[in-house]
Amino acid sequence: MSRHHRVIPGLPLTLGYTLFYLSALVLLPLAALALKAGQMSGPELYRVLTDPVVTASLRLTFAASTIAALVNAVFGLIVAWTLVRYDFPFRRLFDAIIDFPFALPTAVAGLTFANLFLKDGWLGGVGGHITAGINALAHTLGLGAPLPADALDFLTFPYTGQTGGIVVVLIFVGLPFVVRTVQPVLLEWDPEFETAARSLGADSATIFRRVIFPEILPAWVSGVALAFARAVGEYGSVIFIAANIPGRSQIAPLQIVTRLDDFQYAQAAAIGVALLTISLLVLLVINGLESFSRRHERQA
Amino acid sequence: MTIEIRNISKSYGGERILRDIDLKINSGELVALLGPSGSGKTTLLRVIAGIEQADEGSGPVLFDDVDVSNVDLGKRRIGFVFQHYALFKHMNVFENIAFGLRAKPRRERPSEAQIREKTQSLLDLIQLGNLSQRYPSQLSGGQRQRVALARALAVEPRVLLLDEPFGALDATVRRELRRWLRRLHDTIHVTTIFVTHDQEEALEVSDRVAVMNAGRIEQYAPPQEVYEKPASPFVFKFLGNYNLFHGRTRGDEPGEALVRPHDIAIARDPNAAGASARPGVVTHIGFGGAVVKIELETEDKTHVDVEVSAPTFRDLNLKRGDKVWFALRNAQEYVPDFVI
Ligand SMILES: Nc1ncnc2c1ncn2[C@@H]1O[C@H](COP(=O)(O)OP(=O)(O)OP(=O)(O)O)[C@@H](O)[C@H]1O
Ligand SMILES: [Mg+2]
């Protein structure tokens, strides 16, 4: 932000207020967390953080969050583009639906997804449902049961309790972030730039890649960062769809809750600090990318 | 390349913005589209470019006698310069100019060395060779304008279309740039149309001026002719200051005569002012450098603006309240136009 041009008078006051606000709401709790983790001795801390169950949960959390964020990066952009650029029936309705993941209690989302995608669910069990149907039909025709029960299991979505299910719910909770950050930029976009590029002979792909995309890149990157951060911290919806087997399908937040349930506050805090540190590093890298791409965007 | 448009109309939401426009531009000509705000200049330029489609039932847009009405904007090989430049903010000057070359399909794309060479020569042409690494936000308005022009020229357009190219610049820069544009045009000879609402700019730079009013072309002629023989009261009024005299024509029709302030002779002696001189009283004197503006009031209380050169004014030695004689040297008479 510019220091030459103060819209709000009294920089010391506003700065002081900002620092106080940040400290009270963010820094203080974080410090408390670090302090709690610091109660452990060094070797003890090391032991907690290298526990295979813990490392596996951290790996799962970050892998699933990264995949979810990347999927949202692509599809969020497409959704935002479609909502802004095209007019179709119920566009406003779809636009409103984007905010659902914000409003819906995540546990409800988790339950819904579990019902749909798990092995017995409507979609997750689609292979089994079809097989059962065919066999029932054959049975009434007196043909016995021609198909083994697992004949169509290849149709089953590979979500059952594994990373896939986790990724799906994380995509769900992260979707609005990308859409809602990119959308305003596309709305503000002056079509004259596109006309200019077109008059210079550029085709649509080139125009998108070289003219439009660089313009939405900063917003897009922040949207992806937000979606990623949200996914890392997500708990409520994931535990309903994951099998939650320690060391295999348990996310880091669940590890923390488990430790808390065992009154091992310091251990929980230590895992929390690890989670935060890695997230912070990732976000710093993303922010670095963003400011790199914003480098020359001083308003004309 | 020649440009010809026939019978072009364009409506937005039922409102006709362009009405049956015909226009023919010779190869290598520099034509100004001049008219007040909202008269449809930009719309006409965009139809010629292919950014907008003319209404159903309009005639063709011909480039070198070939109908391009259905040719896509990107294929018409026009260079379009937008009023607000539309430079790509995240590309530096060099990349902005090279954009059209890099955007070509692979088969037609010049080599990197050729692109550099071409861009460099355009940078020299617009005299911004030393600023090639700057971003648009780091340039002055006039520099941005020239970059926009170079970017359009890079793809070797057959036609150059400029929408108020100097509209956003201050008076001095405008004057400098329009002379530069004229010299540029004299070196590259590409058929050019530029839009302006500044009559001085249109008259000074162009080979021919098309004066637009409410979606029509009122007159299309060389600058001198437009200025000296305006085809309609609108053109006369639009091209400069004027005095309006109501009177009767020879056929005793009611009519009006329009006279430029500098086409009125003024003297202290009725005989010196010329035949049919009328009396008036000086009510105001405005010094404007080489020209002095004098306001007179006649016996019937009408105001008359007169412009004289500074030396003439010195000889006259006028003061407010002086009684003088004035005569119309060159009046344009128009029977009032009842068609609105
Ligand atoms: N996309 C559009 N939709 C509806 N009306 C339009 C559109 N573009 C232009 N118009 C109308 O057409 C008329 C002519 O517009 P145009 O931009 O051609 O004028 P202009 O002569 O270029 O004026 P200016 O000197 O102010 O740029 C205006 O009344 C304007 O409101
Ligand atoms: Mg215009």
Q: Delimit the domains of chain B by residue range.
A: 3-232, 243-334
Q: Which residues, in sequence order, are bridge partners of residue B159? A: B78, B191
Residues of chain B found within 8 Å of residue A191, distances taken between Cβ atoms: none
Q: What angle do CA B208, B214, B216 make, to 5 degrees?
A: 45
Residues of chain B found within 8 Å of residue A192, distances taken between Cβ atoms: 82, 84, 86
Mean pLDDT confidence for B54-67: 92
Separation of alpha carbons B184 and B30, rounded Å: 11
Q: What is the pLDDT of residue A1?
A: 45
Mean pLDDT confidence for A149-164: 64
Q: Taking the CA of residue A238 as centre, how many other CA atoms within 13 Å lie in the half-sphere pointing to its CB? A: 30
Between B302 and B207, where is the model more confident?
B207
Taking the CA of residue A291 and the nearest CA in chain B, the distance in Å comes to 13
Q: How far is the CA of B89 from the centre of ligand 2 (A)?
A: 22
pLDDT at B57 over 80: yes
Q: Is B196 in the pocket of ligand 1 (CB under 6 A)?
A: no
Q: What is the pLDDT of residue B18?
A: 94
Tokens representing A15 are 């700065």
Mean pLDDT confidence for B57-86: 91
pLDDT at A108 over 80: yes
Separation of alpha carbons A179 and A74, rounded Å: 10
Between B94 and B339, where is the model more confident?
B94
Tokens representing B329 are 């040297």
Instruction: Indicate the pLDDT class of residue B336, thresholds 50, 70 and 90.
Output: low
* A297 with B49: Cβ contact below 8 A: no
* B74 with A190: Cβ contact below 8 A: no
Q: Is the torsion defined by CA of A223, A228, A232, A235 positive or negative?
A: positive
Residue nearest to atom 2 of ligand 1 (CA): B12
Average pLDDT, chain B: 89
Q: Which CATH superfamily is domain B3-232 in?
A: P-loop containing nucleotide triphosphate hydrolases (3.40.50.300)
Mean pLDDT confidence for B62-70: 92
DSSP class of B90: T
User: Which CATH number is associated with domain B243-334?
Assistant: 2.40.50.140
Query: pTM of the full predicted structure?
Result: 0.79
Q: What is the interface size between A and B, counted as CB pairs within 8 Å? A: 78
How many beta carbons lie within 10 A of that of residue B309, not counting itself? 12
Residue tagged 């692979």 (tokens):
B106
Q: What is the pLDDT of residue A300?
A: 36
Mean pLDDT confidence for B180-186: 88
Q: What angle do CA B205, B192, B104 make, to 5 degrees?
A: 140
**Chain B interface includes A196 (CB < 8 A):** yes
Mean pLDDT confidence for B81-90: 91
Instruction: Judge if ipTM > 0.85.
Output: no
Name the nearest CA neighbour of B23 among B58, B72, B73, B52: B58
Tokens representing A114 are 């579990």
Residue tagged 């025709």 (tokens):
A141
Query: Measured in whole angstroms, how far is the alpha carbon of residue A8 from the centre of its chain?
Result: 35
Mean pLDDT confidence for B323-332: 85
Instruction: Indicate the pLDDT class of residue A41, thresholds 50, 70 and 90.
Output: confident
Closest chain B CA to residue A197? B100
Instruction: Indicate the pLDDT class of residue A148, thresholds 50, 70 and 90.
Output: confident
Mean pLDDT confidence for A140-153: 76
Mean pLDDT confidence for A92-115: 86
Q: Is B35 in the pocket of ligand 1 (CB under 6 A)?
A: yes
Q: Is B12 in the pocket of ligand 1 (CB under 6 A)?
A: yes
User: Which atom of ligand 1 is closest in space to residue B40's alpha carbon?
Assistant: 18
Instruction: Indicate the pLDDT class of residue B319, thresholds 50, 70 and 90.
Output: confident
Average pLDDT, chain A: 84
Which of A2, A199, A217 is the best residue to mutate to test the B interface, defined by the most B CB atoms within 10 Å of its own CB?
A199
Mean pLDDT confidence for B53-66: 91
Candidate from B9, B17, B218 with most ligand 1 atoms within 8 A of CB, to mutate: B17
pLDDT at B95 over 80: yes
Residue nearest to atom 1 of ligand 1 (CA): B12
Name the nearest CA neighbour of A294 among A184, A188, A214, A190: A214
Separation of alpha carbons A34 and A277, rounded Å: 11
Q: Is B38 in the pocket of ligand 1 (CB under 6 A)?
A: yes
Rg (CA), chain B: 24
Q: What is the pLDDT of residue B88?
A: 94
Q: How far is the CA of B51 from the centre of ligand 2 (A)?
A: 14
pLDDT above 90 covers a percentage of chain A that reads: 30
* A199 with B51: Cβ contact below 8 A: yes
| Beta-sheet strand order (sheet of B3-12) | B15-25, B3-12, B61-63, B66-67
Mean pLDDT confidence for A224-246: 88
Question: Which domains are assigned to chain A?
Answer: 42-118+159-299 (1.10.3720.10), 127-156 (no CATH)
Instruction: Indicate the pLDDT class of residue A21, thresholds 50, 70 and 90.
Output: confident
Residues of chain A found within 8 Å of residue B105, distances taken between Cβ atoms: 203
- Contact yes or no for A186/A211 (Cβ under 8 A): no
Instruction: Indicate the pLDDT class of residue A299, thresholds 50, 70 and 90.
Output: very low
Tell me the per-residue pLDDT of B128-164, one tens digit each, with 9 for 90 and over: 889 999 999 999 988 999 999 999 999 999 999 999 9
Which of A200, A291, A295 is the best residue to mutate to test the B interface, defined by the most B CB atoms within 10 Å of its own CB?
A200
Tell me the per-residue pLDDT of B207-250, one tens digit each, with 9 for 90 and over: 999 999 999 999 999 999 999 889 888 999 898 888 888 766 66
